[in-house]
Amino acid sequence: MPKALLLENIHPFAAKSLRDHGFEVETRKGALGEDELIEALDGVDLLGIRSKTSVTRKVIDARPSLTAVGCFCIGTNQVDLPYAGKKGIAVFNAPYSNTRSVVELVICDIICLLRRIPAHTHHMRHGMWDKSATGSHEVRGKTLGIIGYGNIGSQLSVLAEALGMRVVFYDIEEKLAMGNAQRCETLNELLEQSDAVTLHVDGRKSNTGFFGEDQFAHMKQGAIFINLSRGFVADLDALKQHLDSGHLSGAAVDVFPVEPKKTGDPFSTTLAEEDNMILTPHIGGSTLEAQEAIGHFVAQRLEDYWFKGSTMLSVNMPQITLNSLPGTARIAHLHANLPGVLARVNRVLGEENINIAAQALGTEGELGYVVTDVSQTPSREALEALRNIEGTIRMRVIS
């Protein structure tokens, strides 16, 4: 019986789906450190994680039998993707399933900060009745600056316009503007005109420290700042300085450079005592609807890969979409992208007079992936010959 390990409170639907498909499933609430993960992966075929567990080279080398990793979240920067691919481990994520949840929280943060709800709540809790409109604004007519105009940024753009906001955005790639949104040629152009600035950049290493003192200094007087993307992209010390000075009127932060691994662990930040501040524990995509959708989506990708060999929507493998197995056996051969591998695979099968019912080949970067449906299961000698083809990374027989 194949085994799956699901960490970090992944939605129960994922465990149920995998069990229904014949997997033995172990679930754990928290994230695991490197050595803990290596120990837990003994005998595990499929691993499910969220954002706190890192799958490093050390983990991959220690557990070479691991077949696939499902990231039950948007990001995949917690996995060494190129190295996983070179070792034959397919990685899947859910790039769209929690988009709406993140967008709704950003909208909520914008409204609360512009109305100074966190500050009023703080005053009420400390016995102060401060019924005043000072510093409170409607969102209608304000300019929202979106940095990173991908799935989340573009959907946020639409909802913000529906509230009457003017939307400008900045992205290093060419993106189609939604509605009346306007593209800014430079980041500073966006910062200097935006009443609210929200970050939605990805987790690539080059984005570390992307938004720091210089960027905060270019923001409008009285503007608000929101980060629901990655903890390492914004300098929180610089943010605090601009809040303390009165340059910025408020901020919402959902992600932090260092975060606890599990619910209930202690956490502290120097931003906690800021007046008009919203602090949330990395819950941008944490709604029941989003987590259920993610559980369904990623579990389906893992099942398709295990039972069909399908790599569609994998983030580190050549893309091949496959239907259910029609014949006796399916041979999934992952290899280095070298010339002649397909011919060698077919030669081995031909020497055994094995009829090929269907075949699909995909290449991406340094990897090649050929999937062959055959009319009969090859002999041990033929399978060994397939494994010994130059450049072979992993070969599986699915029957």
pLDDT tens for each residue of 141-177: 999 999 999 999 999 999 999 999 999 999 999 999 9
42 & 125 share domain: no
Between 203 and 38, residue with greater pLDDT: 38
Rounded Cα distance, 372 and 349, in Å: 10
Indicate the residue among 279, 296, 329 that finishes a domain: 279
Note whether 242 and 349 are same-domain residues.
no
What pLDDT shows up at residue 262?
82
Instruction: Tell me the C-alpha distance between 71 and 302, whole Å.
Output: 10
pLDDT in tens, 190-232: 999 999 999 999 888 889 999 999 999 999 999 999 999 999 9
Are 210 and 300 contained in the same domain?
no
Give the mean model confidence (pLDDT) for residues 225-248: 97
pLDDT at 333 over 90: yes
Q: Mapped to the 3 state alphabet, what secondary structure does 206-274 carry?
A: HHCCCECHHHHHCCCCCCEEEECCCHHHECHHHHHHHHHCCCCCEEEECCCCCCCCCCCCCCCCCCCCC
Look up 166 and say whether it is catalytic: no
| Beta-bridge partner residues of 90 | 68
Please give the share of the chain, as a percent, with pLDDT higher than 70.
100
How far apart (Å, rounded) are the C-alpha atoms in residues 316 and 305? 13
CB 123 within 8 A of CB 130: yes
259 assigned to active site: yes
Sheet containing 196-199: which strands, arranged edge to edge? 182-183, 166-170, 143-147, 196-199, 224-227, 250-253, 277-279
Question: Which residue out of 282, 333, 335, 344 is catalytically annotated?
Answer: 282
Q: What is the mean pLDDT of residues 58-86?
A: 96
Residue 112's SS3 state is helix
Residues 114 and 178 both lie in one domain: yes
**301-311 confidence digits (pLDDT tens):** 999 999 999 99
Residues 260, 113, single domain; the answer is yes
* 337 — pLDDT class (breaks 50, 70, 90): very high
Q: What is the number of structural domains in the chain?
A: 3
Question: For residue 327, is pLDDT > 70?
Answer: no
- Whether 326 shows a pLDDT value over 90: the answer reads no
What's the confidence (pLDDT) of residue 192?
A: 98
Q: Residue 139 has what pLDDT?
A: 97
What's the pLDDT band for 261 if we cut at 50, 70, 90?
confident
Residue 250 is encoded by which pair of tokens? Answer: 């408020």
Catalytic pick among 26, 34, 259, 366: 259
The alpha carbon of 184 is separated from its chain's Cα centroid by a whole number of angstroms, namely 26
- How many angstroms separate the CA atoms of 15 and 10, rounded? 8
Q: How confident is the model over 246-265, as a mean pLDDT?
A: 93
Within this chain, do residues 164 and 227 fall inside the same structural domain, yes or no?
A: yes
| 304 and 394 both lie in a single domain | no
Confidence of residue 21 (pLDDT cuts 50, 70, 90): very high
Contact 331, 376 (CB under 8 A): no
pLDDT band for position 324 (cuts 50, 70, 90): confident
Q: Point out the domain boundary residue: 300, 317, 334.
A: 317
- 142 and 187 assigned to the same domain: yes
Q: Which amino acid is at 293?
A: A
CATH number of the domain at 386, please.
3.30.70.260
pLDDT score recorded for residue 75:
86
**Contact by Cβ (8 Å): 109, 229:** no
| Model pTM score | 0.85
pLDDT of residue 86: 96
| Residues 157 and 264 occupy one common structural domain | yes
Catalytic residue among 50, 63, 200, 230: 230
Residue 333: active-site member: no
Q: b/e per residue, 86-107, with b = 16+ CB within 10 A?
A: bbbbbbbbbbebbbbbbbbbbb
Give the domain-ending residue among 217, 249, 279.
Answer: 279
Q: Residues 22, 116: one domain? A: no
Extract the tokens encoding 329.
């056996």
Q: Is residue 2 within 8 Å of 306, Cβ to Cβ? A: yes
What pLDDT band is residue 384 in, cutting at 50, 70 and 90?
very high
Q: By C-alpha distance, which of 365, 373, 311 is closest to 338?
A: 365
Q: In terms of domains, do 392 and 336 share one?
A: yes
**How many C-beta neighbours within 10 Å does residue 237 have?**
11
Residue 355: helix, strand or coil by DSSP?
coil
The amino acid at 100? R
pLDDT > 80? residue 84: yes
When mean pLDDT is compared across 18-22, 28-32, 369-373, the lowest value belongs to 28-32
* Domain, as residue range, for 81: 1-96+287-317
Judge if 307 and 329 occupy the same domain: no
What CATH number does residue 10 fall under? 3.40.50.720
